[in-house]
Chain A
Amino acid sequence: MARDDSLVEYCQRDRTVHPPAFAPAYKTSVLRSPRNSLISLQNSLSEITGPVFSQDELGPLDHDLILNYAKGGMPIGERIVVHGYVLDEFRRPVPDALVEVWQANAGGRYRHKKDTYIAPIDPNFGGCGRVLTDRDGHYVYRTIRPGPYPWRNSVNDWRPAHIHYSISGAGWVQRLITQMYFEGDPLITQCPIVRTIPGEAAVRQLIAVLDRNAAVPLDSLAYRFDIVLRGARATWFENRVQGQPSMQRE
């Protein structure tokens, strides 16, 4: 069945899988969380559309964090490939999704004006990359496994090793920022930011799985991380987004 994207709207967001705005164990959320209820909107054109990105906006090394900031050497740390699929809630691939990632280096230090952690900057590591998903919704990039690091929340809180993700799908309502964690890391379940998420299944979905089948032998291990965005559904009956015939589907 071919889908006619112009007649699509998106399933309501299931807020039970997401952290609430106010999560006091993550202290910074206290003063930065709205207290009123969100106003629920049915999709209009402003919500079902969104920016379109193309391959020619990205450079050839944008998805290679091992080489994209190399200054005559290679970054220190465990070489890994990270890959997966961007799907929607109906398991349909989301092609041309812009996946942007950023992370600390192997020592847990970010290349950022405001990061003053004692671990050193790696002269050959920038710590960011970006890639568009292919027609199957697949993405892949190469990097160095990031290190854990301490942060000021309680005095001895540590972030598990993680890679930040920003995903832009087909519609504005699919916009998502999240973090990927690594299988086997004991810091995951202790982390106040992870613990803002109410359910175990939703946390498990953020943990990348070691994927030996995708490893590059004698070179890099691989991790698999799939991302699910809001589902695009056809509008069969009334209440369509625009004044278009609603049964115009194949």
Chain B
Amino acid sequence: MTLMINQLDYLKETASQTAGPYVHIGLAPKQAGFDIFEKNFSNVLAGPKTQGDRITIEGRVVDGSGTPLRDVLIELWQANAAGKYNHPADRQDKAIDATFRGWGRACSDFETGVWSFETIKPGAVEGRGGRAMAPHVSLWIVARGINIGLHTRMYFSDEAAANAADPVLNLIEWEVRRATLIGQREDRAGKVVYRFDVHLQGLQETVFFDI
């Protein structure tokens, strides 16, 4: 007798496919070279009334030959200045900032490969088991040649003590690789910029997460 086992009827997640070279058409049509939607998503997260310290996050995504990707699209998700996500699943006892969704989308420049976000520095968010996570932003990277979106985080170089205690950074066995997740603060004419280059391969390969 061959015994047939009942199957769970769960569905399988739809397979990912590359965003391709023309991702801008759908997600950032102005960058593709035309104007179609009345309201566009952008790389500017902070409005004039948003609470918090204004910062710029900028960088490049670099391939295994050292060449910057000029067709990459990055999304950023973060908490507000108080460390609260603008989402119903965040039940921390902190206030939402109605002027701050905490999400943006940026494309690299077709010539230089540089992308940037205009935002505010996030506060610390409670992690699993009530352990505080150091301030960070989540990044999601797609492009031609990337078969499934890459998840990473950027932490802040001026939060050394919080970073040293961060449960996620500490999960990375190779201490040398933790440094790939730290955005480096630069002060440029009164503007605070965190520089964050993402390396897809090589000795400096950025840590990517399976989340």
Interface of A with B (CB < 8 Å)? 5-6, 8, 12-15, 17-21, 23, 26, 28-36, 38-52, 57-59, 62, 68-69, 87-91, 100-103, 110-115, 126-128, 130, 164, 166, 170-173, 175-179, 193-194, 196-197, 201-203, 205-206, 227-231, 239-244
Given contacts A28-B145, A164-B26, contact A46 B32 (CB under 8 A): no
Let me know if B25 and A102 touch, CB within 8 A.
yes
- Cβ-closest chain B residue relative to A196: B147
- Cβ-closest chain A residue relative to B210: A38
- Cβ-closest chain A residue relative to B150: A34
CB contact between B147 and one of A13, A19, A113, A201 (< 8 Å): that residue: A19
Residues of A within 8 Å of B21, CB to CB, are: 112, 114-115
Top 8 closest A-B pairs, CB basis?
Answer: A102-B26, A28-B145, A51-B103, A49-B87, A32-B145, A38-B210, A19-B147, A49-B85
- Cβ-closest chain A residue relative to B25: A102
- Please choose the segment from B52-60, B112-120, B128-136 that sits at the chain A interface, where 4 or more of its residues have CB less than 8 A away: B128-136
Residue B95, interface by CB 8 Å = no
CB contact between A110 and one of B25, B103, B142, B153 (< 8 Å): that residue: B25
In the complex the two chains form, what is the Cα distance from A242 to B1 in whole Å?
A: 48
In the complex the two chains form, what is the Cα distance from A30 to B75 in whole Å?
A: 23
- Cβ-closest chain A residue relative to B85: A49
Residues of B within 8 Å of A171, CB to CB, are: 89
CB contact between B77 and one of A50, A58, A100 (< 8 Å): that residue: A50
- Please choose the segment from B156-164, B182-190, B200-208 that sits at the chain A interface, where 4 or more of its residues have CB less than 8 A away: B200-208
Residues of A within 8 Å of B138, CB to CB, are: 46-47, 172
Let me know if A112 and B125 touch, CB within 8 A.
no
Let me know if A175 and B140 touch, CB within 8 A.
yes
CB contact between B171 and one of A13, A29, A41, A114 (< 8 Å): that residue: A41
Which interface residue of B12, B133, B177, B205 has the most chain A CB atoms within 10 A? Answer: B12
Let me know if B26 and A101 touch, CB within 8 A.
yes
Given contacts A62-B37, A113-B32, contact A35 B205 (CB under 8 A): yes
In the complex the two chains form, what is the Cα distance from A128 to B34 in whole Å?
A: 11
- For B61-103 the 0/1 string (1 means CB < 8 A from A) is 0011101010100010101000001111111100000000111
Which residues 5-46 of B have a CB within 8 angstroms of A?
Answer: 9-27, 29, 32-34, 36-39
CB contact between A126 and one of B14, B34, B86 (< 8 Å): that residue: B34
| A-B pair number, CB within 8 angstroms | 277
Given contacts A50-B87, A58-B39, A126-B34, contact A228 B14 (CB under 8 A): yes
Let me know if B13 and A230 touch, CB within 8 A.
yes
Let me know if B210 and A13 touch, CB within 8 A.
yes
Let me know if B140 and A206 touch, CB within 8 A.
no
Let me know if A172 and B15 touch, CB within 8 A.
no
Let me know if A15 and B32 touch, CB within 8 A.
no
Which interface residue of B71, B200, B201, B211 has the most chain A CB atoms within 10 A? Answer: B211
In the complex the two chains form, what is the Cα distance from A18 to B148 in whole Å?
A: 7
Residue B165, interface by CB 8 Å = no
Distance in angstroms from B39 CB to nearest chain A CB is 5
In the complex the two chains form, what is the Cα distance from A214 to B120 in whole Å?
A: 46
Residues of B within 8 Å of A19, CB to CB, are: 15-17, 147-148
In the complex the two chains form, what is the Cα distance from A164 to B148 in whole Å?
A: 14
Let me know if B22 and A45 touch, CB within 8 A.
no
In the complex the two chains form, what is the Cα distance from A26 to B17 in whole Å?
A: 11
In the complex the two chains form, what is the Cα distance from A102 to B26 in whole Å?
A: 5
- 13 residue pairs A–B, Cβ–Cβ below 8 Å: A18-B16, A34-B201, A43-B128, A43-B211, A46-B138, A49-B86, A52-B101, A88-B11, A113-B33, A126-B25, A130-B26, A179-B18, A239-B128
Let me know if B127 and A44 touch, CB within 8 A.
yes
In the complex the two chains form, what is the Cα distance from A42 to B33 in whole Å?
A: 40
CB contact between A175 and one of B10, B75, B88, B206 (< 8 Å): that residue: B75
In the complex the two chains form, what is the Cα distance from A36 to B153 in whole Å?
A: 16
Given contacts A39-B209, A126-B34, A172-B77, contact A87 B16 (CB under 8 A): no
In the complex the two chains form, what is the Cα distance from A44 to B107 in whole Å?
A: 27
- Cβ-closest chain B residue relative to A12: B210
Given contacts A89-B11, A228-B13, contact A35 B201 (CB under 8 A): yes
Residues of A within 8 Å of B86, CB to CB, are: 49, 51-52
